[in-house]
Amino acid sequence: MENRRPLIAGNWKMYKTCPEAVDTIAKLKELVDGVTTVDIMITPAFTALSQVAETVAGSNIQVGAQNLSWHDEGAYTGEISGSMIVSAGCTHVIIGHSERRQYFNETDATVNQRIMAAIRHKLVPVFCVGETEAEREADATCSVLDKQVTDGLQGIALEDLADLVIAYEPVWAIGTGKTATSEQAQEVHHYVRGQLEKAYGAGFAQSVRILYGGSVKPANIAELMSMADVDGALVGGASLDAETFSQIVKY
């Protein structure tokens, strides 16, 4: 039997100044104090990482970044490296979020390089995959996910994937208020786990956490989490408010 501890992660995207981030995280810390059955992780903007990490130090909340460079250092103006986010207090990093794929030319190849960089820096990669509405309507969900997962993990040794987290986020459900039904989420999570089993074996497939993301809120988290292959959630909009996010954490 698998031993996949649920992970509820909040993606703050490009919201919150430093004081706003500290205010929200301080409230969240109080609200989720004593929660021991799930892992909790928040990804603030780069600018607020250090202060948020200092605020949650010693608590049950972990901190992640929303992206990282695939370079370790160098003349890459505007980029942020793995060691920089580690030194700011991060343990996790989101990679390949659909907003980066959509608006910032992220490709499966650059996702692959970023996952390798995360592994080099001992960060937990939260690797996002998901199909667009057009791809789902064209019945291409499985082939899109196959390519994203295969290309994203290309050339990475199994032993380096031990901490990997996958986030299935159907693009049509992100920020739209449309949530995949729990059955739709389960079907895709089960499919992805099956593909991982073919590629890496049952041991890995049964241990890897697959989060669902896309308009998760207090009203739908329990049903999503009741699905056998849903191991947590990546929450955007509903993570911005401490009270709302705490209700999701305590589903």
Q: Which residues are catalytic?
A: 97, 169
Closer Cβ to ligand PEP, 85 or 221, answer by number: 221
Q: Is 175 in the site for ligand PEP (CB under 6 A)?
A: yes
Among 7, 11, 39, 125, binds ligand PEP (CB under 6 A): 11
Residue 172's CB: how many other CB atoms inside 10 A? 19
Beta strands in the chain, from DSSP E residues, in sequence order: 7-11, 39-43, 61-65, 92-95, 124-129, 165-168, 209-213, 232-235
Options 40, 235, 242, 248; binder of ligand PEP; rule CB under 6 A: 235
Touching ligand PEP, residues 130-149 (CB under 6 A): none
* 214 lies in the binding site for ligand PEP (CB under 6 A): yes
CA separation, residue 185 to residues 158, 189, 224 (Å): 25, 6, 8
Taking the complex as a whole, the smallest distance from the CB of residue 237 to ligand PEP amounts, in Å, to 3
Should residue 69 be labelled a site residue for ligand PEP when binding is judged by CB under 6 A? no
In angstroms, what is the minimal distance from the CB of 148 to ligand PEP? 15
Q: How far apart are CA 174 and CA 13, in angstroms?
A: 12
List, as one string, the DSSP characters of 164-223: -EEEE--GGGSSSSPPPPHHHHHHHHHHHHHHHHHHH-HHHHHHSEEEEESS--HHHHHH
Q: Based on the shown chain and the rule CB under 6 A, indicate whether residue 169 belongs to the binding site for ligand PEP.
A: yes
The answer to the question of residue 180 lying near ligand PEP (CB under 6 A) is no
Among 237, 242, 246, 249, binds ligand PEP (CB under 6 A): 237
- B/e letters for 200-231, b = 16+ CB within 10 Å, e = fewer, are beeebbeebbbbbbbbbbbebbeebbebebbb
Our finding on whether 213 is near ligand PEP (CB under 6 A) is yes
Please pick, from the candidates 234, 242, 248, 249, the single residue that binds ligand PEP as defined by CB under 6 A.
234
Q: How many residues bind ligand PEP (CB under 6 A)?
A: 14
Q: Which chain residues interact with ligand PEP by CB under 6 A?
A: 11, 13, 169, 174-175, 213-216, 234-238
